[in-house]
Amino acid sequence: MTDFHYYEPSKGHGLRHNPFNAIVAPRPIGW
């Protein structure tokens, strides 16, 4: 899961929500 630590927002993450939000507040949304 180290990819989330250095992903580039400018390139996009391909997810419907921000990966950082999932790390700060994990929620059963699309997971």
Taking the alpha carbons of 29, 26, 21, 15 in that order, is the dihedral positive or negative?
A: negative
Tell me, what's the pLDDT at 27?
A: 58
Summarised one tens digit per residue, pLDDT across range 1-31 is 455 555 555 555 555 555 665 565 555 655 5
Tell me the whole-structure pTM to 2 decimals. Answer: 0.15
User: Please, what is the Cα angle at 29 between 24 and 12, to 5 degrees?
Assistant: 70
Percent composition of the chain: helix, strand, coil (DSSP 3-state, to 5): 30, 0, 70
Provide the 10 A C-beta neighbour count for residue 19: 16
